[in-house]
C-alpha cells in the first residue's frame, strides 16, 4: 500500500487531506467529527477579533455550484483561545488556526493563538486587491509567530501569482490556493428572490465549478515560489486530490463536498487517493507532487479511434458532436474523418473510455520545471 504520509513546512501529516476553513470546523464538536473521518490535519474556521453574525440564509446549492455568504467564525476570540483551541490540541492532529483579516486584527490575534497553533493560515478574503494591504498582515504575523504562516489567496486578486511571490518575500511559509470566487448572484426565479441573505444577495462560489480554476492557480503558483502550495477548490474525490498534487500541491483542503455529502467524504477521498496510488504503482503521495510540471503540451493528430467492444451506443458523443462527425451505423459508432475537427469533446463525454486519440507531445512551455 502506498504511503500517504506527507510533510508540509516541517508539519508531519498522516495524509495530505485537510478540511478547509469554514462551516464544518466552526467549533470543537464539529472539529471532533471531522477528525474522526481520518483527515491529516485540522484547520479551524477563521478566527477574527469579534464573533461573526452571518446573514440568513447563507448557504445554497444550485446544480454543480455552491454559494455562501458566511462571514468568519461565529465564536468570539476569547472562547476560541480559552476553550476551543486548548481542547482542539487534544485531537491528535496538527492544528492550523485560520486568522483574519487586517494587520491590526492579526496583531491582536496572533500572539493569543500562538500557544496552540502548529501553523497559522491568514485569510485575505476581505482585503481587496491592494498588495500592500495583503502583505502587511503577513509581516505582522511573522513578528509574533515562530510557527509556519500559510497565506490563503483569493482568485479575485488580479494577479494571484504576483501575490504569492510577494507573500513569500514577506515571510509566508506556504500558499493556500484558492479561496471561493465572487461575488456571485443566484436568483430563485419562482420566488423572484436571492438565494442568499446578504445585503445585496451576493455570495461566493465554491464546489466542482471552481476546481479547474483552482488547479490552474496551483500549477502557476507552485512554479513561481519555492514554498509549498496547498490546493483548495472543488475537490470531491480521490482523483481530484491527485490532480491538485500533480499540478504542484503538497497537500489539499476541501469543504463543500463534505458539507453536501457528510464528513465521511473525507474518508472516501483519502481512500480514493490511496487506491489511485496503488493502482498506478506509486509508492507514496509525495511521488506525484508536481508531476505535471514535467509534461509538455499535447496535440491530437487524427480523428478519434473507437473501441467497439467498449462502446455501448449510448449516443452521448453523437448528441454533443457539433460537427456531425459521429453516427451510429448498425451496431457500431463510426467517425466521418472529413467532418471531424479533432476537438476532443467526444473523448471526455464517453463514460466507458471507448474513444481515444493519437497525439504528440510538444515542447514544454513552462518557465520552470520542478527540481
For the chain, the distance separating the N- and C-terminal CA atoms, rounded to the nearest angstrom, is 26
From CA 112, how far away is CA 269, in angstroms rounded? Answer: 34
Structure confidence at residue 365 (pLDDT): 61
State percent of the chain over pLDDT 70.
98
Q: Domain 6-292 falls in which CATH fold?
A: TIM Barrel (3.20.20)
116 secondary structure, DSSP code? T
**What's the pLDDT tens digit per position in 16-61?**
999 999 999 999 999 999 999 999 999 999 999 999 999 999 999 9
Helices marked H in the chain: 28-35, 77-79, 85-88, 103-113, 131-144, 160-170, 211-224, 238-247, 256-261, 264-279, 316-319, 345-349
> Where do the structural domains in the chain lie, given as residue ranges?
6-292, 296-362
Q: How many CB atoms lie within 10 A of CB 298?
A: 11
Q: Structure pTM?
A: 0.95
Tell whether the model's pLDDT for residue 298 goes beyond 80.
Answer: yes
Per-residue pLDDT band at 296 (split at 50, 70, 90):
confident
Tell whether the model's pLDDT for residue 239 goes beyond 50.
Answer: yes
CATH annotation of 296-362: 3.30.70.20
Place of cell 492550523: 96
- Average pLDDT score, the chain: 96
Structure confidence at residue 366 (pLDDT): 58
Amino acid at each position: 500500500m502506498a504511503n500517504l504520509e506527507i510533510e508540509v513546512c516541517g508539519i508531519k501529516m498522516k495524509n495530505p487531506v485537510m478540511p478547509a476553513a469554514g462551516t464544518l470546523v466552526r467549533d470543537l464538536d464539529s472539529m471532533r467529527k471531522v477528525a474522526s473521518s481520518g483527515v491529516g490535519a485540522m484547520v479551524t474556521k477563521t478566527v477574527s477579533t469579534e464573533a461573526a453574525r452571518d446573514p440568513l440564509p447563507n448557504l445554497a446549492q444550485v446544480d454543480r455550484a455552491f454559494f455562501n455568504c458566511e462571514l468568519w467564525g461565529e465564536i468570539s476570540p476569547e472562547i476560541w483561545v480559552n476553550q476551543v483551541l486548548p481542547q482542539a490540541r487534544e485531537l491528535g492532529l496538527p492544528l492550523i488556526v485560520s486568522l483574519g483579516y487586517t494587520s491590526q486584527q492579526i496583531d491582536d490575534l496572533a500572539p493569543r493563538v500562538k500557544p496552540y497553533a502548529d501553523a497559522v493560515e491568514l485569510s485575505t478574503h476581505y482585503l481587496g486587491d491592494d498588495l500592500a494591504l495583503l502583505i502587511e498582515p503577513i509581516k505582522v504575523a511573522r513578528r509574533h509567530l515562530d510557527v509556519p504562516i500559510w497565506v490563503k489567496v483569493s482568485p479575485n486578486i488580479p494577479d494571484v501569482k504576483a501575490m504569492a511571490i510577494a507573500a513569500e518575500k514577506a515571510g509566508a511559509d506556504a500558499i493556500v490556493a484558492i479561496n471561493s470566487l465572487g461575488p456571485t448572484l443566484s436568483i430563485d426565479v419562482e420566488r423572484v428572490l436571492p438565494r442568499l441573505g446578504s445585503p445585496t444577495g451576493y455570495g461566493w462560489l465554491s464546489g466542482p465549478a471552481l476546481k479547474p480554476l483552482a488547479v490552474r492557480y496551483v500549477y502557476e503558483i507552485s512554479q513561481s515560489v519555492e514554498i509549498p502550495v496547498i490546493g483548495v477548490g472543488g475537490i470531491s474525490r480521490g482523483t481530484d486530490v491527485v490532480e491538485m498534487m500533480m499540478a504542484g500541491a503538497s497537500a489539499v483542503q476541501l469543504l463543500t463536498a463534505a458539507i453536501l455529502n457528510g464528513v465521511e467524504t473525507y474518508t472516501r477521498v483519502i481512500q480514493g487517493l490511496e487506491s489511485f496510488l496503488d493502482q498506478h504503482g506509486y509508492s507514496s503521495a509525495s511521488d506525484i507532487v508536481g508531476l505535471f510540471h514535467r509534461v509538455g503540451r499535447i496535440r491530437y493528430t487524427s480523428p478519434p479511434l473507437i473501441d467497439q467492444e467498449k462502446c455501448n451506443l449510448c449516443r452521448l458523443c453523437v448528441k454533443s458532436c457539433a460537427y456531425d462527425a459521429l453516427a451510429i451505423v448498425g451496431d457500431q459508432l463510426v467517425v466521418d474523418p472529413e467532418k471531424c475537427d479533432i476537438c476532443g469533446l467526444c473523448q471526455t463525454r464517453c463514460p466507458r473510455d471507448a474513444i481515444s486519440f493519437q497525439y504528440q507531445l510538444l515542447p514544454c512551455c513552462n518557465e520552470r520545471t520542478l527540481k
